[in-house]
A and B are shown apart, each in its own frame.
Chain A
Amino acid sequence: MPLIAQPLPLPGGALLARLHGINAEHGYLPEEALRGAADELQVPLSQVYSAASFYSAFSFEPRGRHTIHACQGTACYIRGGDKLLEKLEATLGVKAGETTADRLCTLETVYCVGSCSMAPVIRVDGDTYGRLKASHLPRILKKCRPIEEQEV
């Protein structure tokens, strides 16, 4: 028997579900919300933080309105996914992991979104585009530009 009262174990998956919830609401994990989660789940804040920083799905920084994921999975890589990424970086003027100055787009890489047969692919706000060539990017990136420029 432990001498100190142990908190009850969390229900399975509860912490991850909570982090996903916060992430869906804010687009990132604000400190306030993490403190709230720790209180609510009755776990130490340090546990919430270490989990949050372990997983690549979460970020402590606010993201852009749109997120572009350039797939660098094996199938995409050998069919030119790295070239698409380079083109995206050049077009948006940011490196992977960064957000454009106008906070419109965050560019991320991902290791496979499960559409490998359509390689190379990118995902924009959850929509997947496959069988891409660099020349297709401007059309896809249209929605990631300020509204007033979208007609151009």
Chain B
Amino acid sequence: MKVRTRSDLEMLRSEGLSTLYPSRPRISVGMATCGLATGAADVYDTLRDEADARGLDITLVVTGCIGYCQQEPLVDISLPGHGRVLYARVTPDLARVLIAALAAGELPAEGALAVIPEEETSEVSETSEVLPGIPLLNELPFYAHQHKIVLRNSGLIDPTRIEEYIARDGYQALARALLDLTLQEVIDEVLHSGLRGRGGAGFPTGRKWQICYDAPGQPKYVICNGDEGDPGAYMDRTVLESDPYNVIEGLTIAGYAIGAREGYIYVRDEYPLAVERVTQAVARAGELGLLGEDILGSGFDFGVTIVRGAGAFVCGEETALISSIEGGLGEPRPRPPFPATSGLWGQPTVINNVKTLATVPVIIGRGADWYASIGAEGNAGTVVFSLVGKVANTGLVEVPLGLTLHDMIESIGGGGLGGRAVKAVQTGGPSGGCLPARLFDLPISYETLTEAGSIMGSGGMVVMDEDTCMVDVARYFLAFTMAESCGKCTPCREGTRYMHETLTRIVEGEGTPEDLELLEEVAEWVKAASLCGLGQTAPNPVLSTLRYFRDEYEAHVTEKRCPAGVCRALIRFTIQPDVCTGCGLCLRECPAGAISGEKKEPYVIDQELCTHCRICYDVCPVGAIEIVR
């Protein structure tokens, strides 16, 4: 079948609705990479086998990321006539319980995390009565502040079924753009929405499109940047895996708006499932004529090529990414000219982040005014963060811009891991910085984060507590940027090496107070003199930690002490004999063979052999290992 008209879309919509809201139980298992990492595939198999064995008629669906990763594996069950419930930390055993209950026509309370409020589209009754005592999803602190736009379909639809995407208003925006709006009108809509690029720098998307539209020269190209190189962040992966058609629709609209007929999606190599899902989605959209020639009978032709990266962080930088697609080295080149006027093969090219493009269909579908009304002044809309690190609730969250860091970390995140106090949050990956807890009243916006010495970045948010050494964190990031610097320009290549060496000296207890000043000086110089964003921002982790956590640096260089008890050269491990129960776990786990003793007697650590790896500290069930700082 080819989709030629709006009524063809309606046909697919009703097909999608029939699987999205079937008359039998629908069970969706969150099986994005995060779910799979905690055993979701076993849960899926058990659900299927158990339902088969009982002859239970269900719709079993592989869905994307439901967001609350802390609670994975997550299973979402809707039982027509009863309601919809989200089950958490599902094991194969719980899966059997769930199927048994469904076979009896019930939604069990066991394992239930929340009741999912029903949408208008289905005909189910009052949600609060579904399972007494179980909160509604939006009453959970984790979801209370969230507003899902980019993630609106993630974890809800089957990402391999375009019909379900269409049932959720997918491709309405493309139809509107192609059939009702001129190129300029599409650009104006995006411009007025206030959308800014979600790849990090926050450049207004409509402006970028306008520049490219105005630039002379054909052909033009549009590229989706799915390189997501920030270590510790997984927003783009999730969107690509969970809702690939959303990104493809956004890319197609962008192509139409700027007058391009070819688009590229560049996906990071470490994301095989994202590559698979997007490849499948592009093929399916092509089959239906939603990519290809004369889309929706509008005369607009558009094709998409998927390029798989190959493990180079710098390729996320737009000019490097373009060179990588061209078959050259993934090295940046000086800008201007910007890609919007001279990009792929020297032609005008729009390059946008995955989330930027995933927002476009909603803007065109619901209008610029609606989007602009969300968020804060100059920072319209929502932003997706991956909230990870030493935080109680890890997961993928989408919040309106302007929310405070406090609401993000304390409310949504539930505070520190294991109830410990949060010390800092790191945003923006290796280009960003660490902000101390006392600044958590700051609203999240491009400008506030930059002024505070970090950046918004692409959405990585790594929470740190008292057990995280900020000097070591700075060293960690510099090790990363030093390894990933392409080496093309000297300030970045040599500057990152110098900063890394100095930081390594400091964490090894060999630093001096003068090192701190030198570090600052070199950092400023690298910032000013590097060619691309990698070098220009590489000093941020150093500068921000020096600014907010100078006392930790000073403890390292003057007292040769690591207050967080992390830096190996500055700490010692001992076993408190009065606490040790002699269980022998530490002896078994110690990779250095430094622990000796008899069962039921206190064990001891041989300081000569101990490599200070901390494994015993982490495994001891009674907390008998002491870190001497």
Interface 1/0 per residue, A43-82 and B, CB below 8 Å: 1000100110011111000000000000011111111100
For B588, the chain A residues whose CB sits under 8 A away are: 135
A52 to B619, CA, bound (A): 41
Question: Is residue A101 contacting chain B, with contact meaning CB distance below 8 A?
Answer: no
Interface 1/0 per residue, B224-254 and A, CB below 8 Å: 0000111111100110000000000000000
A28 to B37, CA, bound (A): 26
CB distance from A105 to the nearest CB of B (A): 16
**Does B591 lie within 8 Å of A116, measured CB to CB?**
no
Question: Is residue A152 contacting chain B, with contact meaning CB distance below 8 A?
Answer: no
- Report B427-464 residues with CB < 8 Å from chain A CB: 429, 460, 462, 464
CB distance from B460 to the nearest CB of A (A): 7
B: number of interface residues (CB 8 Å): 72
- Report B362-414 residues with CB < 8 Å from chain A CB: 386-390, 394-396
Given contacts A13-B264, A118-B72, contact A55 B38 (CB under 8 A): no
Question: Is residue A104 contacting chain B, with contact meaning CB distance below 8 A?
Answer: no
**Does B33 lie within 8 Å of A78, measured CB to CB?**
no
For A90, the chain B residues whose CB sits under 8 A away are: 591-592
**Which of B106-114, B145-153, B303-311 is the interface stretch?**
B303-311
Given contacts A13-B307, A74-B460, A134-B619, contact A118 B34 (CB under 8 A): yes
Closest B residue to A129 by beta carbon equals B37
Closest B residue to A89 by beta carbon equals B591
- Report B260-290 residues with CB < 8 Å from chain A CB: 262, 264, 266, 269-272, 274
Interface of B is mostly: mixed
CB distance from A59 to the nearest CB of B (A): 11
A113 to B386, CA, bound (A): 13
**Does B619 lie within 8 Å of A118, measured CB to CB?**
no
**Does B308 lie within 8 Å of A20, measured CB to CB?**
yes
A53 to B618, CA, bound (A): 38
**Does A116 lie within 8 Å of B394, measured CB to CB?**
yes
**Does B390 lie within 8 Å of A79, measured CB to CB?**
yes
**Does A121 lie within 8 Å of B305, measured CB to CB?**
no
A135 to B326, CA, bound (A): 46
**Does A16 lie within 8 Å of B324, measured CB to CB?**
yes
14 more contacts with CB within 8 A, not counting A57-B310, A86-B591, are A20-B310, A54-B330, A55-B312, A56-B311, A72-B231, A73-B232, A75-B462, A78-B390, A87-B591, A111-B313, A112-B230, A116-B386, A117-B70, A130-B38
Binding site for A on B (CB under 8 A): 33-34, 36-38, 69-70, 72, 228-234, 237-238, 262, 264, 266, 269-272, 274, 305-313, 324-330, 344-345, 386-390, 394-396, 426, 429, 460, 462, 464, 468, 473, 476-477, 480, 585, 588-589, 591-592, 611, 613-615, 618-619
What are 8 pairs between A and B in contact, CB < 8 Å?
A10-B326, A12-B264, A50-B329, A77-B232, A112-B233, A117-B69, A119-B388, A135-B619
Binding site for B on A (CB under 8 A): 9-17, 19-20, 41, 43, 47, 50-51, 54-58, 72-80, 83, 86-87, 89-91, 110-119, 121, 126-131, 133-135
